[in-house]
């Protein structure tokens, strides 16, 4: 097990991390840190609720410094491997990027809330359909839209454009983003996930998660591992109302156009979706 990372090593790995952290999560973590005996399990659970913090921990544990043969996708495992001292030092090295305004925090709340709910639903659905590594599904759900806050940071009108993308006027949600910005949140999310050293197949699903129709219309039996992860993600997005919370729309054209193929791939029915929604609602997840 490597020793605790030095301040210089932490600063080097932190370079380029720019997804804003939820202010309340930072407050909760700071409260835990000042306890006489900080609870690393509680710290891990708090970190797992935040895209930026979770990505940072995975970037650290998957860095060459640790020399792991397989990339880690579980936040809890990453925190355990890093150890309490390194985790606290990393947290102390992270500040709210750019001293976010109240307006920016409110805008980002939509992103943070959907990321947490979708991650929980992904993990549960993955278990339901027999996917062998539910932690990967949780990781995908948490990080799949990590490009959104970075697009918001770069383009002042991004939120308005994003809302239009969910209207169904374009073949793919990302088409309008490409027209307006010459890039899209899937591409940005892919490179962010790569910078966090996430496994390549998760990065690939992030990059393709709005090419739904193209992927599920192909019946060639290729990339079934990634296809199942994508199907789990699309179901979770629909259940959590991504189209409503992020897109501010009353309908979900992307799901409507692809739900038959997605449900067939997962071996689920509309009845199963109703049951899942009821269960998730009981768990405190916002469902639509």
Domains belonging to the chain, first-starting first, are 7-92 (no CATH), 102-282 (1.10.3210.10)
CA distance 160 to 139: 27
Other Cβ atoms closer than 10 A to 40: 17
Q: Sorting pLDDT into bands at 50, 70 and 90, what band is 226?
A: very high
Interacting residues of 61 by C-beta distance below 8 A, sequence separation 6+: 68, 72, 77, 78, 81, 82
Place of tokens 């993990």: 123
222 phi-psi bin (left φ>0, alpha ψ -120 to 50, beta other)? beta
Are the C-beta atoms of 54 and 142 separated by less than 8 Å? yes
Q: Which contiguous run of DSSP H or E holds residue 62? A: none
Interacting residues of 91 by C-beta distance below 8 A, sequence separation 6+: 26, 29, 30, 33, 53
Least-confidence region, from 32-36, 116-120, 171-175: 32-36
Average pLDDT, the chain: 85
What SS3 class is residue 250? Answer: coil
For the stretch 229-272, pLDDT in tens is: 999 999 999 999 999 999 999 999 999 999 999 999 999 999 99
pLDDT of residue 271: 94
For the stretch 248-258, pLDDT in tens is: 999 999 999 99
CA distance 237 to 217: 19
CA distance 40 to 148: 29
pLDDT of residue 100: 55
Are the C-beta atoms of 145 and 185 separated by less than 8 Å? yes
For the stretch 159-211, pLDDT in tens is: 899 999 999 899 899 999 999 999 999 998 998 888 888 889 999 999 999 99
Are the C-beta atoms of 86 and 5 separated by less than 8 Å? yes
Place of tokens 């892919």: 190
């Amino acid at each position: 097990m490597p020793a605790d990372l030095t301040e210089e090593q932490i600063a080097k790995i932190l370079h380029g991390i720019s997804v804003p952290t939820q202010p309340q999560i930072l407050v909760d973590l700071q409260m835990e840190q000042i306890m006489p005996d900080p609870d690393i399990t509680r710290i891990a659970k708090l970190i797992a609720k935040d895209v930026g913090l979770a990505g940072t921990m995975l970037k650290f544990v998957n860095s060459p410094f640790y020399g792991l043969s397989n990339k880690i996708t579980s936040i809890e495992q990453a925190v355990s491997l890093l150890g309490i001292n390194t985790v606290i030092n990393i947290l102390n090295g992270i500040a709210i990027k750019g001293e976010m305004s109240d307006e920016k925090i409110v805008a980002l709340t939509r992103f943070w809330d959907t990321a947490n709910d979708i991650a929980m639903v992904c993990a549960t659905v993955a278990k339901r359909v027999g996917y062998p590594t539910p932690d990967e599904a949780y990781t995908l759900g948490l990080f799949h839209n990590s490009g959104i806050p970075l697009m918001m940071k770069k383009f002042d009108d991004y939120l308005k454009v994003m809302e239009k993308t969910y209207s169904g006027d374009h073949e793919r949600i990302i088409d309008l983003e490409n027209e307006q910005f010459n890039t899209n949140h899937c591409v940005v999310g892919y490179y962010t996930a790569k910078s966090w050293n996430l496994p390549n197949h998760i990065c690939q699903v992030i990059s393709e998660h709005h090419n739904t129709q193209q992927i599920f219309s192909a019946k060639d039996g290729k990339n079934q591992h990634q296809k199942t992860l994508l199907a789990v993600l699309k179901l979770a997005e629909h259940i959590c109302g991504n189209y409503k919370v992020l897109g501010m729309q009353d309908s979900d054209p992307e799901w409507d156009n692809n739900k038959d193929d997605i449900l067939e791939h997962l071996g689920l029915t509309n009845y199963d979706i109703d049951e899942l929604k009821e269960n998730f609602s009981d768990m405190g997840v916002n469902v639509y």
